[in-house]
Chains A and B, each alone.
Chain A
Amino acid sequence: MRASRSDADHGGTSAEAPPSGDELKGNSMKQIVKLKVNGVEDEKAVQTHHTLLEVLRSEYKLFGAREGCGIGMCGACTVLLDGQPMSSCILLAVLAQGKEITTIEGLSDPGKLHPIQQAFIDHNAFQCSYCTPGFILSTKSLLAENPNPTGEQVRSYLAGNLCRCGSYYKIEEAVLDAALRLRDQKGNR
């Protein structure tokens, strides 16, 4: 059997002439967007097809959000959008305009640790820690909604964040401990 084809995944066959590079370039558009990242608002020219994750990493050099699956299944790219956890790998950057974007770098002041971060350290709630910023930000959102969760509620809320190293038990302990610390902090105020 003899087959002639270009790679189907990347489109184009030898029968129809592929568009030239300049034509393709014309298809990608930039748009000026106002983004508020970790409390600071500024304007960025972003490709309209680029995700928030790509923009955070390439334009802001914020490396705490990471791609794990690229389809919103693993949670390693989690950021908070107006306090809600979002997979930044499937959110177009232009759609984040007007929202408060919080990344792990904005969770606490430089040199200081958020109580959730401290609890994750104290329980060593990670191994390779690629997933850790995502877990911590999801935890932030969980504890804002429910300051006193049960273990089961923690598991259910964090089921969208994957830890391939399997540090789940230490994560659950850390989250319950962080909840306690945050309630204490609030009580003392």
Chain B
Amino acid sequence: MSLGEALSMLDAEERVTGRINYTLNIEAPAMLAGKILRSPLPHARIVRIDPGRAQRLTGVGAVLTRADFGPHTGYSGRYGRIFRDQTVLALDKVRFVGDPVAAVAASDEDTALEALSLIDIEYEELPAVFDESEALQPAAPLVHDPRPEQQPIFSKMIEDLPGGTNLCSHFKLRRGDIELGFHQADFVFEDTFRSPAAQHVPLEPHVTVAVYGRQKLTLWTSTQMPHAIRAQMAELLNLPLARVRVIVETLGGGFGSKGSLRLEPITAFLALKAQRPVKIILSREEEFVTVCKHPATICVKTGVMKDGTLVARQVNAYFNTGAYSDIGPVVARNGGSAMSGPYRIPHVWIDSRAVWTNIVPAGALRGFGVPQAVWAYESQMDMIAERLGFDPLEFRQKNLLRDHDVFATGEELTDIHFHDLLEQAAASIGWSPEDVRWLNRDRTRAKDKTRRRGKGVAMVIKATITPSTSAAALKLNEDGSLNVLTSSVECGQGAKTVLAQIAADAMHLPVSRVSVSDPDTDLTPYDQQTSSSRTTYSMGGAIREAASDLKRQLLDCAAEHLEVSVTDLIIEDAKVIVRGTPRRSLTYGEITRLSNQGNLFGRGAFTTRGGLDLQTGQGIGSVHWHQGAIGCEVEVDIETGKITILRLTPCVFAGRVVNLRLCELQLEGCAIFGLGQALFEEMSYGEHGQLLNPNLSDYNVPSFADIPPKINASALEHAGSEELHGIGETLLPPVMAAIGNAVYNAVGVRLQELPLTAEKLLREIHRQHSTNDFPLSRRARE
């Protein structure tokens, strides 16, 4: 059976021969190369732009500036998924170092770059604000004034707020009676944690090719959201949806960066103005100023009883969404709604805010607000365990959610597996209470005087976007083979292979008879987006629906031709068979030909329902909850502060695994992605808001040199379940806290701000040495 088979990707041969097509390879006749001029200042009014010299340069097809937008042109140039706070190019002012100000399309990249250098711009610098806490001070400069207009479709999800502040959004969750909870608690602990801005670094940069002709815009673009791009581009260009076509080739990684509009508006308007196809490829340096992970400051206050029962939690979270909100308010909401963690807490009060500042806009990044949240609450779980002298494993077990518990959102949970996941994670690192620093009274265990080992665990509960909609169509051909028409984007997660397996399984066909399309909004049905670990579940669900529709048609048509009742027919091995009379049968191909319809089409849609109340955060937060636990063992060199990861053991609840090989790749990928954010990934800003490390020399991502010898990933299945859980993100969020907890058990140093660099750790080791008896390296050598 195709479901559960550990297949290699169906397009593997194209991938290893270098022939697979990325948007990077797309070329159109007479195509121009586009380049973008960016702001050197974090916040400034644009006094004057003179593109004259650039326009006169030989080879320049179009120069785009703010003069191309506004009432006189018919194009507002304003867009944004939640707030219309972004513009194709800066109109009145620039809001961060890197904000696009002008763009050029020219015969080649060299000419386009020359042209950029000939554009003269005069700025009037304005005071800027970079930190999310400072941005909310009354005297802080306003990034957006007046407050940008909110998109009506988000009015039920994100509360509109008054202007005159940098507060972009404010998610509230209210459950129980928080004052009563803290009053009841024997102990109350309050701790603050911080995560920095980090990069997605898909190795393929953002690329867009725009062709405008016969009043139709065609875009080849590296996006995870073809239909959302189509809708927003249609709005920007005043075109009906049918006249915007978005085609997506396989992506060279996305990790959330390739959602929302990125290069599409600039490329399309250049193509419109030049009346020639235009292609823009971002350089790595430009990637860094396009979108990032939200820096976040999160204060967690937790009330706990003497016996270790959690009773209350209050959270104040600030997500720095940078100059433009993108999907930031939903990131803050998603991170916020999960901050009670996988624990039973009767009284919960959460305020999670997105804040505008003058740094690089932040958006979706694998985990979607939950990595920042888990870093805070799972670090604090260990801190509380130590203060009260508990084994951190037992402390968690005592409070973990079980089936039929009510979550902080008020919804009753089912299919909950946290106890099993924690047990698995702990067992796979060989956990024992002896590994807990504060329970282990024999400190002489360290075998090596300068290198210390420690173990830690962390857990995660994460929503998948709810409500959401996917649609699929199945086209059955006259030879009985099947085309799956879907707008799910292949970004390396193996969507096309997994969806082929689901379709083959539902239609009783071998995978070799199934082909899955690339997204093309002219041809493939609607899908909300390829994100939120939703494709296997949602698009898989739509395909199963479409298969039911198609099988119904096959049965009806076969019944007519075999002159039997539908109830006498069964489907097996790509055939419709009369029950008990195997010789009386019709193949799919025969039925398709007999139908006289050319093709048979099955249609299916899969919609989930839910949502949270604006004032209380109560409702359905997720159609089902993604669950995970991870164990970690580290070795810390106390002479250098260097952390070596010895073991990482991501354990996920998968419902039913469709393809174990691809599932393992996702789990290992999550663990390694998290390892980078835990140990070294951080976008560093200078005092004027300029990014200091926008390249892969100064900003490191994990290589073979950074990873543990092995990652023991495991996927927990629910026997007998057909429910598929997405697993593409779940195990990233807990990696940072698991490593932090392991480091604490190794050396007794707790860092509350990521990343856990050697420098920071060493400083803390030295600081502790000056205040207690921590054996420092020099003494150790004596």
Contact = CB atoms under 8 A, between A and B. Distances in A.
B17 A69 contact: no
Interface stretch (A92-100, A167-175, A181-189): A167-175
Contacts of B204: 66, 68, 128, 130
A70 B251 CA distance: 19
B537 interface: no
Contacts of A21: 56-59, 111, 114-115, 118
Tell me whether chain A's interface is mostly helix, strand or loop, or mixed.
loop
Interface string A74-117: 10100000000000000000000000000111011000010001
Contacts of A4: 47, 122-123
A7 B94 CA distance: 13
Interface in B697-747: 697, 701-705, 707, 709-711
A6 B696 contact: no
Contact of B16 (A5, A113, A155): A113
B263 to A, nearest CB: 16
Nearest to B201: A164
B123 A128 contact: no
A10 B17 contact: no
Interface in B558-613: none
A169 B121 CA distance: 50
Given A6-B119, A68-B696, A128-B204, A165 B492 contact: yes
Contacts, number: 220
A11 interface: yes
B19 A64 contact: yes
A130 B8 contact: no
A22 B58 contact: yes
B104 to A, nearest CB: 11
Contact of A18 (B110, B118, B664): B118
Interface in A143-179: 151, 154-156, 158-170, 172
A41 interface: no
A131 B351 CA distance: 41
A173 B230 CA distance: 41
B224 to A, nearest CB: 12
Contacts of A40: none
B203 A124 contact: no
Contact of B9 (A47, A124, A133): A124
Contacts of B704: 154-156, 158-159, 161, 168, 172
A128 B124 contact: no
| Residue in B21, B25, B38, B203 with the greatest tally of chain A CB atoms within 10 Å | B203
Contacts of A18: 53, 117-118
A78 to B, nearest CB: 11
Given A10-B37, A159-B703, A126 B15 contact: yes
Interface string B669-710: 111110000000000000000000001110001111101011
Contact-residue bracket for chain B: 35 or more
Nearest to B16: A117
Contacts of B380: none
A97 B170 CA distance: 61
A122 B252 CA distance: 20
Contact of B669 (A28, A124, A162, A165): A165
Interface string B1-43: 0000000110011011111111011000000000001111100
Nearest to B7: A124
Contact of A166 (B202, B252, B491, B673): B673
A64 B281 CA distance: 17
Contact-residue bracket for chain A: 35 or more
B702 A166 contact: yes
Contacts of B53: 18
Given A69-B695, A117-B17, A167 B668 contact: yes
Given A4-B123, A21-B59, A64-B17, A166 B672 contact: yes
Interface in A16-40: 18, 20-22, 24-25, 28
B661 A2 contact: no
Given A121-B16, A165-B253, A169-B711, A3 B705 contact: no
B659 to A, nearest CB: 9
Contact of B17 (A25, A113, A155, A158): A113
Contacts of B114: 21, 24
Contacts of B117: 6-7, 10-12, 18
| Residue in B16, B117, B492, B695 with the greatest tally of chain A CB atoms within 10 Å | B16
Given A21-B57, A21-B114, A104 B18 contact: yes
A82 B661 CA distance: 36
Given A63-B24, A71-B697, A10 B671 contact: no
Contacts of A172: 704
Given A128-B204, A167-B665, A66 B710 contact: no
B253 A128 contact: yes
Contacts of A71: 284, 695-697
B124 A3 contact: yes
Contacts of B255: 164
B283 interface: yes
Contacts of A11: 117
A121 B24 contact: no
B493 interface: yes
A118 to B, nearest CB: 8
B177 interface: no
B120 interface: yes
A10 B125 CA distance: 19
Interface in A41-83: 47, 62-71, 73-74, 76
B296 interface: no
B538 to A, nearest CB: 20
Contacts of B41: 3
Contacts of A123: 8
Contacts of B15: 126, 129, 132
Interface in B413-446: none
A74 B203 contact: yes
Given A66-B203, A130-B22, A162 B118 contact: no
A121 B8 CA distance: 7
B703 A133 contact: no
Nearest to B491: A128
B256 interface: no
B290 to A, nearest CB: 15
Nearest to A116: B16
A105 B253 contact: no
Nearest to B56: A21
B18 A103 contact: yes
B41 to A, nearest CB: 7
Contacts of B710: 169
A143 B13 CA distance: 21
Contacts of A124: 8-9, 12, 661-662, 665
A52 B281 CA distance: 18
11 contacts: A10-B113, A12-B117, A63-B24, A73-B695, A130-B22, A130-B202, A155-B705, A164-B203, A165-B253, A166-B665, A169-B668
- Closest 3 pairs between A and B when the two form their complex, measured CB to CB: A64-B18, A128-B492, A130-B252
Given A68-B205, A128-B253, 11 more contacts: A1-B124, A2-B124, A5-B122, A103-B18, A117-B13, A127-B492, A128-B204, A128-B252, A133-B16, A164-B253, A167-B669
Interface of A: 1-12, 14, 18, 20-22, 24-25, 28, 47, 62-71, 73-74, 76, 103-105, 107-108, 113, 117, 120-124, 126-133, 136, 151, 154-156, 158-170, 172
